[in-house]
Chains A and B, each alone.
Chain A
Amino acid sequence: MAGAGEGTGRVTAQLPILQVVVPLLAAPICAVLRHGRAAAWLAVLASWSVLAIALALLGQVMAGGVVSYHIGDWVPPIGIEYRVDIVNAWVLVIVASIGAVVTPYSVASVEHEIASRRIPLFYAAYLLCLSGLLGITITGDMFNVFVFLEISSLSAYALISLGRPRRALTAAYRYLIMGSVGATFIVIGIGLLYVMTGSLNMADLAGLLPGVWDSRTVKVAYGFLGVGICLKLALFPLHLWLPNAYAFAPSPVTAFMASTATKVAVYMLLRFFLSIFGAAFSFDVMALDRVLLPLALVAVVSMSLVAIFQVDVKRLLAYSSVAQIGYMILGLSFASITGLTATLLHLFNHALMKGALFMALGCVVYRIGSVHIDAMAGLGKRMPWTMAAFVVGGLSLVGVPLTVGFISKWYLILGALEKGGPWIAVAVLVLVTSVMALVYVWRVVEAAYLREFSGDEPTGEAPLSLLAPTWVLVAANLYFGIDAVRTAGVARQAAEVLMAGIGS
C-alpha cells in the first residue's frame, strides 16, 4: 500500500486516531465472536496496543509539543480535530494503563461472575467504554466529546447492570438517568457556546470566547457545562449514583470504572473550564475556585465519614472514591499551579490505588463471593497475597510515604500552604480526612488479620491471573511513590499548560 514504504513515519503520524480506532474496531469484532476466551484475548490485545499508543503519544507530545490530527483531512474548525497536548496525553496514559491491567484481570473474573454466552458482548461493551473514555480525552471538538461521552456511558450502564445482585440493575438505571441528565446539560452548554461563537472546535473556541465573555449566555453555558460534568464526575452532592454503581457492578467493571471514568470527567472539567474558557475567566469572572472549594471540602469530609460506617467493603471504597474526587477538585480550587499539579497527579495516583484496591476485592469476590466486612474475617491468613495487596493499596489511600497516595497529599498540602493564611485550615482538613481514611481502611485490615475465620470450608488464594494484574498495580503504587519525579514533572507541565490556556 501507499504508506508501506515509509512505514514507521506514517504510523506515528496516525497515532492519535489509532488511539481510539483500535479499541473501537475491536469492539464489534468481539461482539460477533462465539467464544468468550477469543473475545477476551482480542480485548487484551487491543488494550495493550492502546497503552503502547498512549505512551508513544505522550513521548511525542513531550518531545514536540501539541499534536494535531485532522480527521478526514479537513482543516479545523471545518472538520473534527484530535488535539493532544501534555494534559490529555497524560490522561490517556492513565486510562490506557488501567485498561491494560484490568483487561487481562477480567478474563478469569468475568468467567466467574458473568454467564458465558454474554462474555463476548461483555468485552464489546468494555472496549466501547474504553474507547469512549479515550475519545473524550483526545478530541479537540466539543460535540465529539458528547458523542464519545455517550459511547462510554451507554456501555458503562450495561456493564454495571451485569453485577450479580439485582440492585446492580437499579444502580445502573439511576446512573443512566443521572448520566443522561448530565449529558443533556452538557449538550445545552455546548449549544449555548456554539450560538455565541459559531464554532465547536476547542482551540478555536478558546480564541473566540474572550470576545463574548460578558454575555449572560456564555455564563449560563458555563453553568450548564459545570453541572453536567459534575454529575458525571460525581462531585458531591451530585454523587448519588456512584456508590451503588460501584458496589454492585462486576469486579473488573468496578476496578475499571473507578479508576478511569471519574478521572476523565475531571479532565473534561479542566479542559472546558481552564483551556476553553480560560483560567482567567474561570477564576476571576466565574469564581470557580470559590464555588468548588466548599463543595470539595464537604465531599471529602462527609464522604470519608460515611465510608467509615459501611459494612460492604466495595461500597466503602465507593464512598471513599467520592471523597477522593473531592481532593482532585480541591486541588483545582486552589487556582494555582501547585494545586493543579496535585489534581493531575491525583488523577493518576488515585487510579493506581483504587484500581489495586478494587482488584484485590475482586479476588476476594472470586473466592468467597462476598465483600461484607464480616465475611473477610481471617482472610489475611487464607488469602495472604490478596490481602497484602489490599493493605498496600489501603496505605496508599491513607497517604503513607513511599506510596503514591503520599505524593498526592504532599502536593495538595503544599498547594494549600503556599496560599498561606486561612488555607492552613484546608491543609489540616486534608490531613484529618487522611486519618479518617486510615480508620476505614484499618477496619478492613483488622477484620482480615486480627479476627479469626469463622466458617469451615477452606479458601485458597486467588488464581494467578487475578493476582498478577493486581500486583502490577500494587507495584506501581510503590514505584511511583518512591520515584515520583517523572509523574510529578508531567503533572506540573500539564498544570502550567492548563493555567496558560490553549489560546496563549
Chain B
Amino acid sequence: MSLDFFVSHYNYWVVIFLMMVGFYILISRGNLIKKIVGLNVFQTSVFMLYISMGKITGGTPPILVGDGHGGEAMEHVVYSNPLPHVLILTAIVVGIATTSVGLALAVRIKEAYGTLEEDEINRIEALVEASE
C-alpha cells in the first residue's frame, strides 16, 4: 500500500471508524436515549463521508467570488463541490427530525414503563405476554 494511497484515503477510514463507533453505540447500548446519541454520531459521521467526497484539495467554499455577475472573472479559483453540501444540509435536518421523534418516544416510554433500559422493558413485556 503506497503512501499516496494512504494519504488519499485515511480521511475516509477515520470517518468510517467514527461511523462504526456511532453504529456500535446504537446497537449495543440498552438505554433508549443513549441509542439516539449513537444514531446521531453515526449520521454525523456519514455526513463527514459525503463532505469528504465533495472536497477538492486547494479548493475554496463554493461561494463564487467576483462581482457576482458572471463567474468569468476568477477562472483560476477552484471551488469544492456544492452538491454534497446541499445533500448533507438536507440530511442534517432529517437527522434532527428523527432525533426529536425518537426522544419524544423515549419520554413516553419512560412514562409508561418507568424505565429507559431495553432489558427491563423487554422483561415487563415478556411478563405481560405470558399473562395473556
A residues within 8 Å of B by Cβ?
Answer: 143, 146-147, 150, 154, 157-158, 161, 166-167, 169-170, 172-173, 176-177, 180-181, 183-184, 187-188, 191, 194-195, 200, 311-312, 372
Contacts and interface: CB of A to CB of B under 8 A. Distances in A.
Interface stretch (B60-68, B72-80, B96-104): B96-104
Nearest to B81: A198
A173 B32 contact: yes
A154 B96 CA distance: 11
Please provide the 4 A-B residue pairs with the shortest distance between their CB atoms, ordered closest to farther. Answer: A166-B112, A173-B105, A195-B53, A150-B94
B18 interface: no
Interface residues of B, number: 32
B86 to A, nearest CB: 9
B128 interface: yes
B109 to A, nearest CB: 5
User: Dominant SS at the A interface?
Assistant: helix
Contacts of B39: 177, 180-181, 184
Contacts of B106: 173
23 contacts: A143-B90, A146-B94, A147-B90, A147-B94, A150-B98, A167-B125, A167-B128, A169-B109, A170-B121, A170-B125, A172-B105, A173-B32, A173-B102, A176-B105, A177-B26, A180-B43, A181-B23, A181-B42, A184-B42, A191-B46, A191-B84, A195-B53, A372-B132
Contacts of B27: 181
A319 B132 CA distance: 18
A184 B43 contact: yes
A183 B109 CA distance: 23
A372 B112 CA distance: 22
Given A150-B94, A188-B49, A177 B35 contact: yes
Interface string B114-126: 0000000100010
Contacts of A181: 23, 26-27, 39, 42
A187 B35 CA distance: 19
Nearest to B97: A154
A473 to B, nearest CB: 29
Contacts of A311: 132
A311 B129 CA distance: 10
Contact of A176 (B23, B84, B98, B128): B98
Given A147-B90, A187-B91, A188-B49, 7 more contacts: A166-B109, A173-B102, A176-B101, A177-B39, A180-B98, A191-B84, A194-B84
A169 B87 CA distance: 31
Nearest to A166: B112
A88 to B, nearest CB: 22
